[in-house]
Structure 1
Amino acid sequence: MRRVAGTLRGDFAVAGRPAWGYGLLCALGVCLPLLAGVVGGHVREGVAAALGGYLTVFGDAPGLPYGERARKLLVTTLMATLGTGLGQLLQPWPWLAVFAIGLVAAAGAYWPVISVPAVLAVTLTYFAPSGAALITHMAITAAGGLLITALLVVLWPVRRLRPLRTAFEEAGTALADLLPAAGRAPLSDESWESLRRCAVTAVDDAARSFSLYRVSQEDDRALERLLATLDRIFRETIALRVLRAAAVQGDLGEEWTGELDEAVEALAAALREAVALGGSAAVPEAVDAIGRFADRVERVRRAAHAGEAPLPAAVLLGQIRRCLDRIGMAVRSVSQQAAEAVEVGPRLPRFGRLRKPVFSTGYHPVRLGLAVTLAMALMLLAHEHYAKWFVVTVLVSLRPAYRDTVDRVTLRVLGTAVGAAGAAVVLAIAPGHLYLIVFIGICAVLGFALRGASYGYWTIFSTPLSLMLSDFTLPLDWGAAAARVALTIAGGTLALLFTRTLWPRGHRARLTGRIVDTLERHAALARSLVERDPEEVSAVLSAAADAADRLTDSLNRLDKEPGGSAPRRLREAVTAARRLRDNALALLAVPAPVEESGPTATVLDMVADRLENVAEAIRTGRPEARADDLDRVLDRLGAHVDLLTARRLDEVAEGAADRMTGVRRGIMHAAAAQPALKGLSAEALELASLTAPRR
């Protein structure tokens, strides 16, 4: 019960500003047909058009570019219209409808293009005879969907770039929040992971948004450059955190940390200004701050040459300065590109390319189809008009995960109680369709405005909409309100029963494959760092992150099983894998190894071997192969850095302080790479230990 209460508090938390303009447009699209029907004496036709508009906007995705959004709205209109026609065709054959609606529900879960609005259209139309001819009823439903589509895209000429700019601003802001966290004193793993996850999500969202804008070849290149620049800022920021944590262990005093803090704060401010205002006024201040830090690094370098500071720590500061330089150049590039912007001519929205059909997998489509079929059969025996709420509750509440179903049922019951009681009160105080339209309009404004900010409030206000629209022509007294609530509770109970008894128990077995894939992908990442081909490393890094995300998804599903929970050690393994990737990015940021660089390739190969051995042991069930002595090689790396330090100081004493010798190149790599290699090795060993088979 405490978990449910906590979930509800999270559902009703308002994240972000409600979209009141969007809510008003949706309310207009729903209420105008109702008002026209009541005033013109064609109430049933007005209800059909309003319900078509509601079902269409139910499938809307406001953050998409307008071409993609218009395509999605038109497809939803088409599916809802076809669903309306199928529902009316099934009315004369109740038992055929039982199996047909169950099949449609299963098909909607299997093939997302069919979508929930289409299944709702079939169900609601079957239980609510329209009295109009089939073609007429479908045409009216389509007209309602087209009306709300037109309302939602009417501002396209002036807002066509808004989704793109929003994605760009959110990505830049998330990176600006991450920058100070990397340059200041280390945050807790939990705080850092939260900021890092927000940045990754925002940059990925920007990439998806950019991919949907195909305006001209020149602007396509501009968008690609901008996305690459944002990705470069992210990677250098990750490297900065790893290198700073290592540098503070050196005996260099504390003056440099304050100047580093000033530099990263100035860079973050410049990046925020660039993405929010499209300006570059703060860039010179950031460049000056980086210059002051560079002067401090030069003083530390000279002190190290004089034997007054440890040379490896000074080399680390030099690498931090290079990271700041690259971030500074990237921020300046972002500010310039933001000022130039992307121009799109005022032509009609361009629809997205046709893509291959996407199909869902797993047990959920079958389970949903069986549940809806049983719900339909039970309601046919009841012969009750309000029985559709039993079926609809099963349809919208049954989710792939058990705990998600519990949350949906709870919110559905609350929404039905609020909607049914609210309508009964409105009609008791001021009976008549006009007052009911006002109530529907208020629910539409609040529901759709809060849709992107709070799932709980969206459910509370959207449930009355479907209730009132489908029952608009019926008497709505306290008895009807009680019947709706009772049937909703019964439908939720059936959904919980099905998700409890038909939960796919084989998911824990599939977890093994996800663990093996994660280990092998991270082993491949370690090997790719030997050759340091940027494109190959990027591809392997992305594959490793995807494998860890799939493992996390499996653990989340296990957490939602009835009475189940994911092993804590595997959660820790995912965190270790993320830290391994961070150290890989830090290693990629340092100068490339040369002949004098030492055993870098040996360490990386041994790390890869360790991860691959564990993956093989998990896959085959055989004992893990004997591991190499990684600690011994890391000790060799430390001794090699000490040797290079001594040789470099001898070169400095001979007057080669400013010459780029082989020894200098070697220590620039070895000293800067040592903390990243140690961190990468430690995280790889922890990942292997946490995922290794338990004896």
Structure 2
Amino acid sequence: MRGLVDMLRVDFRLSGPPAWTYGLLCMLVVCFPLLLGVLLGRLEEGASVALGGYLTLFGDAPGQLYGDRVRRLLTTTATVTLGSGLGALIHPHPWPIAAVVVGLVAAAGIYWRALGIPAVLSVTLTYFAPSGMGVLLHMGTSACGGLLAVLAVMAIWPLRRRRPLRRTVEEAGTALADLLAGGGRAPLADESWESLRHRAATALKDLEAALSLYRVAGEEDGSPERLPATLTRIFQQTIALRVLRAAAVETVEARAGTEWTRELDEAIGALARALREAALLGGSAEMPGALAAVGRFADSVEEIRRTARAGDTPLPAAALLGQVTLCVDRIAMAVRSVEQQAAESVEMGPRLPKFVRSRKPVITTGYHPIRVGLAVTAAMVLMLVIHEHYAKWFVVTVAVSLRPTYRDTVDRVRLRVLGTAVGAVAGAVVLAVAPGHLYLTLFVSVCAALGFALRGCSYGYWMMLATPLSLMLADFALSLDWGAAAARVVLTITGGVLALLFARLLWSRGYRATLTAAIAEVLDRHAALVRSLIDQDPREVNARISSATDAAGRLADSLDGLDKEPGGGAPRRLRDAVTVAGRLRDNALALFAIPPPGNESDPTGAVLDLVADRLEKAAEGVRTDRQGTPPDDLDRALDELGAYVDELAARRLDELAEGAGDRMTGLRRSIRHAAAARPALRGLSAEAVRLASLTAPRSC
């Protein structure tokens, strides 16, 4: 019992403040046609317009950019309109045709996300609705409701068109400030670091998508890329700084003390505060103090470098600190650029939001569309044999409750049954106490305002309020009594049971089947990333980092899905492999941040080739289910790298003795690169070996 209470507490916990303005806006869209229909005596037409508006808003994404939202709303309006026409068209046909058509629409709604649930609901509710309206009238009224929703959303666009962009910039800046404060200063646990890095990477992607929909003043081509590019530099340099700082702490503190770490922490903290202010306020009073702190840290490092020239501190350690200083300087310059760029205004020309057409439709692969199609067809067959008007709630429950995983289906069924029970009883009580369509319109208004306001912060409350809302709209022209309320609750419960049966019996083991391909893809993409570091072409390296990150994300999604399937459970070693892959990319970014070597031959390329070969062989072993690690010379190459750094240090000391301390010679450039690259290469190699070991074929 206590577990159920805790579960419900989580379901009905508010994750943020309710969107009351949005709730009132949706209330007007839904209730204005109802009130007009009541006053004009056209209940069916008014309810159909209101239902079209409700289903269109059902597919809305409040808080997103207006160009994206309007495109989504127009698409949903079209699919809801076609769905209502299809439902009215198949209504007079024999029930086997209806069962097949609705099942196919349900499968298509899952496979092609542009259709989605609103189209399925439109077909189902229109088919079961006992209405005298023809096909064209059904489509016309649904289209009017959808267009009314679009106009309502667009009505506030002139006043709020910049707010989504401003919020996206703020989220990206604060996420990177948190990453900088957490990763650039005292070491964090891997779990905390992964959370900060994932949040920052997601915020950067959202910012790039947001800016693609706006035109920024001063950008001739209308594609503002400077701000996300600057924030990406901060992201990459922060990751590199974390790796290099950890290596510097191990090699420098024993000989040079800890004063430089305190100066570094002060500089990074000040830069993080300046970045946060720049993102939130468009300017920063912290920036002068941050630059002064960076200067003090640079002075501390310079003192250590002077002791290295005198032979009191190892040259490789001083060279490594020089690379840390370079990372901090790059971050400081980028934060100053963000301060200037964040204050740039967005053009306010009197034009509609910019639309960006998707290159290809978003589809869902796997067996889930087939499973949903079969389940909805079975639900239609069961209910059409009975041919009860309220049977639509059985079909709708199956369509909206069946999720890709069993655990998500259980959660959805629990909330829908609870919402239906509360909503149906509330509707019956309202009509019993105060019968009449005006009172029903008032009840719908309250449900719409509260439901859409709470939709973004609590799915439990949304389901509890959306259920009576859809009940009232679909049967607005009919009387609702206690018998109808009880029938809907029973049908919803039985529909949920059918959804659970299909989720359990037609479990396709899809996530487990995709693990092998996902693991091999992770190894291949990270091998390509490592190999791209040899030439260090910025465009190629950035593309490979993005590709490797996406592959690791797909593997993590497969593991999450496996955890939610009956009898499932993701192997712990594969969870660890995702974390190890993240650390591998961190070391790759640290190596990428280091300036290239001088003219002398460098063993870095040989080590990277061997690491890439190790990962590629591991991927081949996963695909062929072949265990074992093929021999290579990776350990010997790392030893040669260490000897090479020591040789460079000895030669550089000789060069200093000859009076070349202030000149940037080829030897000085080489030791700066090799000394900073050695810890990153060792970390990269160690994580690659561990990644290959964790993903090696074995019995699960």
What is the TM-score normalised by the length of structure 1? 0.95
Partner of 2:153: 152
Partner of 1:40: 40
- SS of 2:225's partner is helix
Q: Given the superposition, is the C-alpha separation of residues 573 and 8 from structure 1 closer, same or farther in structure 2, using an over 3 Å criterion?
A: farther
Say if 2:367 and 2:510, in contact at 8 Å, map to a contact too. no
Q: For residue 114 of structure 2, what is the amino acid of its counterpart?
A: V
Alpha-carbon distance between aligned partners in 1 of 2:484 and 2:221, rounded to the nearest angstrom: 56
Question: Equivalent of 2:501, from 497, 500, 503?
Answer: 497
- SS of 1:361's partner is coil
Partner of 2:101: 100
Q: Given the superposition, is the C-alpha separation of residues 6 and 245 from structure 1 closer, same or farther in structure 2, using an over 3 Å criterion?
A: farther
Alpha-carbon distance between aligned partners in 1 of 2:13 and 2:445, rounded to the nearest angstrom: 23
Aligned pairs for 1:181-192 (under 5 A) are 181-192=182-193
Q: CA deviation at 1:551?
A: 1.5
Alpha-carbon distance between aligned partners in 2 of 1:246 and 1:221, rounded to the nearest angstrom: 43
Partner of 1:522: 526
Aligned pairs for 1:615-634 (under 5 A) are 615-622=619-626, 624=628, 626-634=630-638
Partner of 1:567: 571
Q: CA deviation at 1:663?
A: 2.3
Alpha-carbon distance between aligned partners in 2 of 1:259 and 1:438, rounded to the nearest angstrom: 64
Say if 2:55 and 2:122, in contact at 8 Å, map to a contact too. yes
Greater Cα offset, 309-318 or 394-403: 309-318
Q: CA deviation at 1:217?
A: 8.8
Alpha-carbon distance between aligned partners in 1 of 2:354 and 2:208, rounded to the nearest angstrom: 18
Q: For residue 439 of structure 2, what is the amino acid of its counterpart?
A: Y
Greater Cα offset, 42-51 or 307-316: 307-316
Greater Cα offset, 637-646 or 267-276: 637-646
- SS of 2:224's partner is helix
Alpha-carbon distance between aligned partners in 2 of 1:2 and 1:501, rounded to the nearest angstrom: 29
Q: Does 1:541 align with 2:545?
A: yes
Q: Does 1:315 align with 2:319?
A: yes
Alpha-carbon distance between aligned partners in 2 of 1:642 and 1:301, rounded to the nearest angstrom: 17
- SS of 1:218's partner is coil
Question: Equivalent of 1:587, from 591, 610, 613?
Answer: 591
- SS of 1:439's partner is helix
Say if 1:599 and 1:633, in contact at 8 Å, map to a contact too. yes
Say if 2:36 and 2:46, in contact at 8 Å, map to a contact too. yes
Q: Given the superposition, is the C-alpha separation of residues 627 and 2 from structure 1 closer, same or farther in structure 2, using an over 3 Å criterion?
A: farther
Q: CA deviation at 1:548?
A: 1.2
Gaps of 5+ in 2: none
Q: CA deviation at 1:547?
A: 1.5
Gaps of 5+ in 1: none
Alpha-carbon distance between aligned partners in 2 of 1:204 and 1:8, rounded to the nearest angstrom: 33
Q: CA deviation at 1:345?
A: 0.8
Greater Cα offset, 341-350 or 487-496: 341-350
- SS of 2:404's partner is coil
Q: CA deviation at 1:569?
A: 0.7
- SS of 1:531's partner is coil
Listed one character per residue, the Cα deviations across residues 345-402 of structure 1 (whole Å, up to 9, x for unaligned) are 1123343336443433221222111111111111122232221110000010111222
Partner of 1:260: 264
Q: CA deviation at 1:491?
A: 0.4
Say if 1:280 and 1:336, in contact at 8 Å, map to a contact too. no
Q: Given the superposition, is the C-alpha separation of residues 603 and 29 from structure 1 closer, same or farther in structure 2, using an over 3 Å criterion?
A: same
Q: Given the superposition, is the C-alpha separation of residues 549 and 49 from structure 1 closer, same or farther in structure 2, using an over 3 Å criterion?
A: same
Say if 1:597 and 1:670, in contact at 8 Å, map to a contact too. no
Greater Cα offset, 634-643 or 479-488: 634-643
Partner of 2:176: 175
Q: For residue 446 of structure 2, what is the amino acid of its counterpart?
A: I
Say if 2:15 and 2:457, in contact at 8 Å, map to a contact too. yes
Partner of 1:166: 167
Partner of 2:15: 15
Q: Given the superposition, is the C-alpha separation of residues 13 and 203 from structure 1 closer, same or farther in structure 2, using an over 3 Å criterion?
A: farther
Q: Does 1:211 align with 2:212?
A: yes
Question: Equivalent of 1:479, from 455, 477, 483?
Answer: 483
- SS of 2:347's partner is coil
Partner of 2:554: 550
Listed one character per residue, the Cα deviations across residues 225-244 of structure 1 (whole Å, up to 9, x for unaligned) are 11111111110111111111
Greater Cα offset, 60-69 or 562-571: 60-69
Q: For residue 513 of structure 2, what is the amino acid of its counterpart?
A: A
Alpha-carbon distance between aligned partners in 2 of 1:495 and 1:691, rounded to the nearest angstrom: 35
Listed one character per residue, the Cα deviations across residues 312-362 of structure 1 (whole Å, up to 9, x for unaligned) are 222222211111111111111111112222314112334333644343322
Alpha-carbon distance between aligned partners in 2 of 1:9 and 1:661, rounded to the nearest angstrom: 66
Aligned pairs for 1:17-96 (under 5 A) are 17-95=17-95, 96=97
Q: Given the superposition, is the C-alpha separation of residues 343 and 73 from structure 1 closer, same or farther in structure 2, using an over 3 Å criterion?
A: same
Say if 1:219 and 1:343, in contact at 8 Å, map to a contact too. no
Say if 2:217 and 2:347, in contact at 8 Å, map to a contact too. no
Aligned pairs for 1:347-496 (under 5 A) are 347-353=351-357, 355-496=359-500
Alpha-carbon distance between aligned partners in 2 of 1:587 and 1:21, rounded to the nearest angstrom: 49
Q: Given the superposition, is the C-alpha separation of residues 168 and 620 from structure 1 closer, same or farther in structure 2, using an over 3 Å criterion?
A: same
Say if 2:577 and 2:691, in contact at 8 Å, map to a contact too. yes
Q: CA deviation at 1:151?
A: 0.8
Q: For residue 499 of structure 1, what is the amino acid of its counterpart?
A: A
Aligned pairs for 1:337-348 (under 5 A) are 337-348=341-352
Q: CA deviation at 1:116?
A: 1.2
Alpha-carbon distance between aligned partners in 1 of 2:673 and 2:496, rounded to the nearest angstrom: 62
Q: For residue 425 of structure 2, what is the amino acid of its counterpart?
A: A
When the two chains are superposed, the root-mean-square deviation of aligned CA atoms in Å is 2.2
Q: CA deviation at 1:471?
A: 2.3
Give identity over the alignment, percent: 67
Say if 1:85 and 1:137, in contact at 8 Å, map to a contact too. yes
Q: CA deviation at 1:604?
A: 1.0
Greater Cα offset, 419-428 or 183-192: 419-428
- SS of 1:353's partner is coil
Q: CA deviation at 1:511?
A: 1.6
Q: CA deviation at 1:426?
A: 2.6
Q: Given the superposition, is the C-alpha separation of residues 558 and 325 from structure 1 closer, same or farther in structure 2, using an over 3 Å criterion?
A: same
Q: For residue 565 of structure 1, what is the amino acid of its counterpart?
A: G
Greater Cα offset, 22-31 or 337-346: 337-346
Q: CA deviation at 1:169?
A: 1.5
Alpha-carbon distance between aligned partners in 2 of 1:222 and 1:356, rounded to the nearest angstrom: 21
What is the TM-score normalised by the length of structure 2? 0.95
Moved over 6 A (4+): 1-7
Q: Given the superposition, is the C-alpha separation of residues 199 and 220 from structure 1 closer, same or farther in structure 2, using an over 3 Å criterion?
A: farther
Q: Given the superposition, is the C-alpha separation of residues 512 and 525 from structure 1 closer, same or farther in structure 2, using an over 3 Å criterion?
A: same
Question: Equivalent of 1:297, from 295, 298, 301?
Answer: 301
Say if 1:596 and 1:665, in contact at 8 Å, map to a contact too. no
Say if 1:597 and 1:669, in contact at 8 Å, map to a contact too. no
- SS of 1:223's partner is coil
Alpha-carbon distance between aligned partners in 1 of 2:336 and 2:145, rounded to the nearest angstrom: 48
Alpha-carbon distance between aligned partners in 1 of 2:494 and 2:218, rounded to the nearest angstrom: 57
